[in-house]
Amino acid sequence: MKKILLTGAAGFIGSNAATALLHRGDLVVGVDNLNDYYDPARKRANLEEVRRTAPDPEKFVFHRMDIRDESGIDRLCAKHGFDVMIHLAAMAGVRASIEDPKLYLDVNLLGTLNLLKAARRHGHPPFVFASTSSVYGRTKVIPFIETDRADHPLAPYPASKRAAELLGHSYFHLFGQDFTALRFFTVYGRRGRPDMMAYKVLDNIFKGVEVPLYNNGQMHRDWTYIDDIVQGVLAAADRPLGYEVINLGRGKPTLLADFVRLIEEKAGKRSNLIDRPMPAADMEFTYANIDRAKELLGYEPTMSVEQGVDAFWHWYRDTVMEAGT
């Protein structure tokens, strides 16, 4: 059994990671400030489901806390003596980061610094950091590979994530801190984020929410199902690697318009999305080279987009539509 600090535990990827860790018997101390970037009721429902489905709910401890709360984080680390820190908490909206860049830098960079400082003070447990495919910007190197310099981010959000990756390197160099940055590629699935496309298409179909479709859906995304991402996160938590940056995607991009069509087929209804020009912060393409993840983490994505959309649709129908959460 490992003692794990999991930040962002109430969020999409965090709550799924919590469930997987609890199922293998780890003790999970979850931290999240339950902010209102999207409806906090969704986050509370995620936490509730984590508790309800845990084999031993006693092994899930949750603290509503901000990762920038230096003394709070320090107290938690002193009390538990974590074996691993999995840091997923972040402000995660590319477009929203343009409106409030200071918040994004504050949480994503200084919040990460706060956790790294706590790791240093308390036995430097291996540190897994959630980074993003957005750090590649509009690179010409396709598929995206970790050796790319990734120094042309298109918005404050990817700039803050790239900066945090670099900060991780400083801590590795200076203090021998194990630090693995995982660059996630467009994650979707159970407990998905309401601000992301898969969820928004269904909200458009069933709730009439107005949803833009950028560039008429003519952009590719390397959609990756949540269970595959969680598999990679757990593998990284189990394998301290010094300093590493690793893509976690599927390695098979799909056209956004085709992804939308798949969702419509599952839902049995057409959406009514509004065509909008491509925003300046958006990438035309995301496409992961996942060789490094395979080699270092034994990572092997298993869900096709068809299977993933099917699973996501069932979750949305049973949870969001039926239960209203």
Ligand X SMILES: NC(=O)c1ccc[n+]([C@@H]2O[C@H](COP(=O)([O-])OP(=O)(O)OC[C@H]3O[C@@H](n4cnc5c(N)ncnc54)[C@H](O)[C@@H]3O)[C@@H](O)[C@H]2O)c1
Q: Give the nearer residue to ligand X in terms of CB position, either 27 or 47.
A: 47
| Min dist. Cβ of residue 89 to ligand X (A) | 4
| Min dist. Cβ of residue 105 to ligand X (A) | 12
Q: Which active-site residues does the annotation give?
A: 157
Site residues for ligand X per CB under 6 A: 8, 10-14, 31-35, 43, 66-68, 88-92, 107, 111, 130, 132, 184, 186-187, 193
Coil, helix or strand for 132?
Answer: strand
Q: Give the nearer residue to ligand X in terms of CB position, either 130 or 208.
A: 130
Can you tell me the distance from the alpha carbon of 5 to that of 237, in angstroms, rounded to the nearest whole number? Answer: 11
Considering only CA atoms, give the Rg of the chain.
19
Coil, helix or strand for 113?
Answer: helix
Give me the residue whose beta carbon is nearest to ligand X: 11
| Min dist. Cβ of residue 306 to ligand X (A) | 19
Helix axes 12-23, 40-53, angle to 10 degrees: 10
Q: What is the largest CA-CA distance in the chain?
A: 56
272: left (phi over 0), alpha (psi -120 to 50) or beta: beta
| Min dist. Cβ of residue 103 to ligand X (A) | 9
Query: What single DSSP character describes residue 279?
Result: P
Q: Give the nearer residue to ligand X in terms of CB position, either 174 or 217.
A: 217
Two tokens, residue 31: 């931290």
| Min dist. Cβ of residue 268 to ligand X (A) | 26
Distances (CA, A) of 308 to 87, 227, 228: 25, 9, 10
Q: Give the nearer residue to ligand X in terms of CB position, either 29 or 89.
A: 89
C-alpha atoms less than 13 angstroms from C-alpha of 5 in its C-beta half-sphere: 33
Helix (H) or strand (E) holding 51: helix 40-53
CB 30 within 8 A of CB 62: yes
Q: Give the nearer residue to ligand X in terms of CB position, either 269 or 307.
A: 307
Which value, to the nearest 10 degrees, does the dihedral of the CA atoms of residues 180, 285, 291, 239 take? 20
